[in-house]
Copies of this chain bind each other. A is one copy, B any other.
């Protein structure tokens, strides 16, 4: 029964903290040997069924020369937020000169993973989430600056989002060239949008990323948080598999997508990823296991299910809890589960 975790490579692991010690986040992401080491750590320790390319959604922007850093405790910080048409022009004039370091890093991951025959999954930030960071200058709760830009100057917004989509395509294709066998598009902040704004201002750009990769023959996973109202659109954007956050039970997500299939005569299978509540990782084992069984039971309503968390691993998580959880899931009787290649 396949399982992997969002943020499985990261601060919950002592070997990660040791490997990263003294190296800034974005520097670490541009060091192929370090990327391979960190990507493989959770595969070695937990026995998860995929390695997730260790990187950051800001890496393609950094490669394009954007003035962005990852500040510990805050996240991405832009020295000059993008608020005006001139700001958009300045940022979007930047292009990636060479993506070779990403190809090389992905290749190093695959070489390292090869011994265990574990596939590598690539990832990138979705255009809205990238553009929202750029407009606000950092993370925020409401993404007011990004949402104001959409409605104040739709043309400038679309140019910014299209640029972010181009970077995401280049970033994902480099990972695929290096050997990644599926890709995840993270739209962390999409839940801040109304469905109407998502469809008008964001979906076309995410669709271009996902459909480009699908045309390349690569299965795609599309994830955001607080996106119960957007799940149909996120699937229609071109997702082979929809990642569901912990708020929406998988049986409800499956029913929603299936009823939309019937109404709109879509024909793809309903493939879901998710959605063990990360809060349960800090609870007694009995509560975590009962919850995990419930998630897997509800996931049987989908045509296929990849077991994952409903959001990233909290940094304070005891790694042994994760190792034991993987074993627990692997020991459960198999339902209809997806493999990265078989999506």
The reply on A283 being an interface residue by CB < 8 A is yes
Q: Which of A182-231 contact B (CB under 8 A)?
A: 191-196, 226, 228-229
* Distance, CA A151 to CA B290, complexed state (A): 11
User: Is A6 an interface residue, CB under 8 A from the partner?
Assistant: no
Task: Name the B residues within 8 Å of A228 (CB-CB).
Answer: 228-229
Query: What are the interface flags for A272-302 relative to B under an 8 Å C-beta threshold, 1 for contact and 0 otherwise?
Result: 0000011110111001000100000000000
A287 to B153, CA, bound (A): 10
Q: With A and B bound together, what is the CA distance between A226 and B143 in angstroms?
A: 14
Tell me which residues across on chain B come within 8 A of A311, comparing CB atoms. 142
Residues of B within 8 A of A277 (CB): 147, 194
Set B141, B226, B280: member contacting A151, Cβ < 8 A: B280
* A276: min CB distance to chain B, Å: 12
Q: What separation, in Å, do the CA atoms of A279 and B140 have in the docked complex? A: 13
Give every chain B residue within 8 A of A196 (Cβ-Cβ).
249
From known contacts A278-B144, A279-B148, infer whether A191 and B226 are also in contact, taking CB-CB under 8 Å: yes
Considering the chains assembled together, what is the distance between the CA atoms of A66 and B160 in angstroms? 47
A317 to chain B, nearest CB (A): 10
Give the CA-CA distance A191 to B226 in the complex, in Å.
8
- A246 on the B face (CB < 8 A): yes
Report A219-247 CB contacts with B as 1/0, cut-off 8 Å. 00000001011000000000000000011
A287 with B151: CB separation less than 8 A: yes
The reply to whether the CB of A314 lies closer than 8 angstroms to some CB of chain B is: yes
- Asked whether A229 lies within 8 Å of B249 as measured between CB atoms, the reply is no
The interface size of chain A toward B, counting residues with CB under 8 Å, comes to: 32
Question: Smallest distance from the beta carbon of A277 to chain B beta carbons, Å?
Answer: 7
Contact A144 B248 (CB under 8 A): no
Closest partner residue, chain B, to A247 (CB atom): B194
Distance (whole angstroms) from the CB of A264 to the closest CB of chain B: 19
Judge if A266 is at the interface, Cβ distance under 8 Å: no
Whether the Cβ atoms of B278 and A152 lie closer than 8 Å is no
| Cβ-defined contact, A142 with B249, below 8 A | no
Inter-chain CA distance A192–B283, complex, in Å, is 18
Is the pair B247, A152 in contact by a Cβ cutoff of 8 Å?
no
Instruction: Give min CB distance, A148 to chain B, whole Å.
Output: 4
Chain B residue numbers with a CB within 8 Å of A291 are 151
A131 to B192, CA, bound (A): 23
The 4 closest A-B pairs by CB, nearest first: A147-B279, A148-B282, A152-B283, A151-B283
List 17 additional A-B contacts (Cβ < 8 Å) besides A141-B141, A144-B279: A142-B279, A142-B314, A144-B278, A147-B277, A147-B279, A148-B283, A151-B279, A151-B287, A152-B282, A152-B283, A191-B226, A192-B247, A194-B247, A194-B277, A196-B249, A228-B228, A229-B247
